[in-house]
Structure formats: C-alpha cells, structure tokens
Amino acid sequence: MVQRRLVPWIQNPESMTYGSTGPSRPVQHKVTLASAPVVSTDRSKVFYRLALVLTVVLCCLLLNASIVLGVLYGRETKENDKLDSLLSDYQNVTRLYQGATEANVQLQRENTNLTQHNAGLERENQDLSNANAILKGEAENISKNNTQLLIQNQELMGNNSWLQEENDNLTQRNIWLEWEKHNLSDTNSLLRRWCGRVEENSTWLQKENWGLLDQNTWLQDHNQNLTHQNVWLKTEKQALMRYNARLRLEKANLLDQKQMIYLNYLALDWYCPVVKQETQERLCKKCDDNWIAFQFKCYFFSEHTKTWNASRAQCQSEGADLLIVNSVEEQRFAFRTSQSVNQRGNRVWIGLTDVQTEGEWRWVNGNLVTKELQFWHNRTFGAHEPDDWKQHNPLGEDCGHLDTSLHALTSWMDGPCESAYRWICEKSI
C-alpha cells in the first residue's frame, strides 16, 4: 500500500495530495530580469543545487523507508510494536517529504525563472558585446574629447556653486511665493465678497444719484437766484458804503465844529473878559482888521504871493510870524480858512524850514517838528513829502507850505524858498 502511494509522487510530484495537510501551495516569486544582478544568479544556482541534492537524499531515504515498511508490513501481525514505531517514523518522514516537496516546487519555479533570466542575460551579454565593439570605436573619440570635457567640467563645477546659491535663493523665493499665493487667495476671497457688496452699493448709488441729479437741478436754479440776489446785495452794499463814508465825513466835520465851539466857549473869558461883575458885562478884545481870531490868537491869510523869506518879513513887520501848527484843530482851521479866502493858487507858506540842516525840519521859533504832530503828504506812487526835489531848482526844497487841493491832515509839502506863494501870519491877541 505504501509503495502505491509513493510511485505516483515520484513520477509527478506536483500532483501529490495529502488528506491531512491538503494540496501543496507553491510560493510565487517575481523576478525582475532587468534589475537582477549576476552575483544573485550564481547564488541561486548554488542554492538550487543544494536543494536538489537534499531532495534526492530525502527521496532515497523515503524509498528505503517504504521498502522497509513493505517488508515489515508482512510481519505486522508479529511485530506490531515495531510497526507502530515505524509508522510514526513514516509520518515524520512524510512531513519532511511534504516540506521537501514544497521546497522542490519552489526551486523548480526559481530554476525556470533563472533559466529565463539566464537566456535574457545571454542576450544582453551579446548586445553588450556588440555595444562594446561600438564603444571601443567611440572610446577613441571620447579620449580625444576628454581633455575638452575636463576643462568644461571645471567650468561647470565653478558654475555649480553659483547655481546652488541661485537654487537656494529660488527655494526661498518659492517659499515666499507660496506664502504670497496664500495671501492672494485670501485677498481674492475678500475681493469677491467686496465686489458683491460693491454691486449692491452700485445699485443703491444709482438710485441715490438720480435723487441727487434732481436735487442738483433744484440747487442750480436756487443758486442762480442767489447769484442775482448777491449782485443786487453787492450793489446795495456799495451804495451803503458810500453813504456810510459820507456820514463819517459829516460826523468828523460836526465833531470839529463841536470842538471849535467848545474851545471858543472856553476862550470867551480870554477874548471877552467880564468888566462888571454885577451885570456880567463883557468887553471883547478884537483882532486887527483882516485878521481872524482862533483860540487866543489872530491869523492873517494873504491874497497876494511872495517868497518864503518875504512872507516872513511881512508877518514880522506886523508883530507876527509865519504859522506854527500846535494842534490838529489849528491845522484844520488853517486849511479850511485858506480854502475860503480868495486865492491865487493852492499853496500857502507856513513857518517850516530845513535850511540850516537838510532833513531836519524846524519851526520859525526854532523848535523841531515832532513825529506826533506833522501832516506831510503821502503819495500813492512815488516819493513821499518832503522829497527835496531838485529837478527845477538845484538848491532843492527847504521851505514848507500846505496845499489846499489835498486832504487837511496830509497837505504839507516842501518847496523852493524862492517860489511865490500866499502865506499865513500868526500872533497872540
């Protein structure tokens, strides 16, 4: 019985089945011929040979065991105890046989793969031999180019360090660009949301714009009306300003008249002292004929013209001298009275001169003209008075006069002392 089971296995080991262990399952191995090195192939061949020898030895042992079992099988009735022992050995050998069978199947498959791999290697070897012949021819050309390649290699090595640095910079820039891309993505999301809001606001603004256009039309009409009204108000304002200036001038004149009346009232006791206390009878002092009284003094306004020195001599001959202005009221009085008297020209000599020191103006009594009380003419364009003009007289202008064609408080001018003007004399009562 044992021999019948062993013979088929020897003839076809792969078809052998076992009731206790089941059919053998060969182990599949993938062999990549293109990547398997030659050294691994040699080791596989050695392993395969050892496994084959082991299999043969095991087969011989198994055959001997089968023969022994066959012999012992006839004696099983007498040697029952030995048979059990042999049966146990048989089972052990059977298990060893199963392992050897599986190893044999695996080795056969590896042998087949190695055979195929060997054929491929032989083909590759032939190709390499052919390529070797070609390479030998190319080797000579390569040797010729080797020197040039070495030089180029040195240059490339020099450039390699630069490229490495550039690569590091590009790596850093790539990291920065990734970060920038992330930020731009977030910004893009925000912009999309913002665009949605802008579209909503645009619709609202269009409606608001229509309302503003209507309001703008109304405002333009209202502005035009205000412009016309503003022009009328400006015209009215100019008229009021002219009227106000006239009122101010009248007020100034009234104040001057009031001041003059007040001063005349104070001078009443001087001009007209009381001679009888019982009756308060007064006896008024009088100025000479053709003289005008003002604030305790008498003034003479000539109708004829003379030089400054001749005019002063005429005043001194009558116990007087040329006018010395001591107050604003006296300046206004002299100016207005000169305008009212019959005139021969607008210019009138007064007691001013800088004949001793140029630019140092003094009155005929020797006193300097003070900054607080002087009424020189100020021109809008050109030099202000006194200007010592020498175009018509090389000696200049060293004597002072007032010009009744100007304003009362800006009417003083200097002129040549030899010019013939009217004059004003002044003396105490």
Q: Establish if 166 belongs to a structural domain.
A: no
Of 92, 118, 140, the one marking the end of a domain is 140
Instruction: Write the Ramachandran bin of 386: left for phi over 0, alpha for psi from -120 to 50, otherwise beta.
Output: beta
- Give Cα 393 distance to the centre of its chain: 68
Quote the DSSP letter at residue 26.
Answer: P
Asked whether the beta carbons of 429 and 293 are under 8 A apart, the reply is yes
Q: What percent of the chain has pLDDT over 90?
A: 25
Q: What confidence tier does 285 reach under pLDDT thresholds 50, 70, 90?
A: low
**Is residue 22, in this structure, part of any structural domain at all?**
yes
Q: How far is CA 132 from CA 110, 127, 129, 261, in A?
A: 31, 8, 5, 145
Q: How confident is the model at residue 422 (pLDDT cuts 50, 70, 90)?
A: very high
- Confidence class for position 187, pLDDT limits 50, 70, 90: confident
Residue 65 belongs to some domain of the structure = yes
Residue of 105, 109, 104, 115 lying closest to 36 (CA atoms): 115
Residue at 345 is within a domain = yes
Task: Collect all residues with Cβ–Cβ distance below 8 Å to 362 and sequence separation of at least 6.
Answer: 352, 353, 354, 356, 368, 369
**pTM listed for this prediction:** 0.40
Does residue 352 have a pLDDT over 90? yes
Residue 68: count of CB within 10 angstroms of its CB? 14
Taking only the tens place, the pLDDT of each residue in 79-107 is: 677 667 778 888 888 888 888 888 888 88
Could you please report the per-residue DSSP string of 281-303?
EE----PPTT-EEETTEEEEE-S
Mean pLDDT along residues 165-180: 87
Q: Give the domain-ending residue among 109, 140, 171.
A: 140
Q: Pick the more confident residue, 87 or 300.
A: 300
- pLDDT recorded at residue 83: 65
Residue 183 lies in a domain: no
- For residues 335 and 376, give the distance between their C-alpha atoms in angstroms, rounded to a whole number: 13
Q: Is residue 27 part of a domain?
A: yes
In order, the DSSP letters of 372-401 are: TS--B---SSSPPSP----SS-TT---EEE
CATH number at residue 393: 3.10.100.10
pLDDT band at 5 (very low <50, low <70, confident <90, very high): very low
pLDDT: is 106 or 10 the higher one? 106
Residue 80: inside a domain, yes or no? Answer: yes
Domain boundary among 119, 140, 161: 140
pLDDT of amino acid 343: 67
pLDDT value at residue 194: 87
Strand residues in 305-346 grouped as ranges (E): 321-322
pLDDT value of position 356: 92
Which candidate, 143, 43, 62, 141, places its Cα nearest to that of 101? 62
Amino acid at 210: W
Between 128 and 268, whose confidence is greater? 128
CA–CA separation, 372 and 364 (whole Å):
18
Q: Which of 294, 275, 297 is nearest to 284 (CA)?
A: 275
What pLDDT, in 10s, does the model give residues 44-76?
A: 778 778 888 888 898 899 898 888 887 777 666
Query: Does a structural domain hold residue 115?
Result: yes
Which CA distances in Å does 203 have to 195, 197, 207, 209, 381? 12, 10, 7, 10, 64
Average confidence score pLDDT of the chain: 82
- How many structural domains compose the chain? 2
Q: In terms of residue numbers, what domain contains 36?
A: 2-140
User: What is the structure's pLDDT at 355?
Assistant: 93
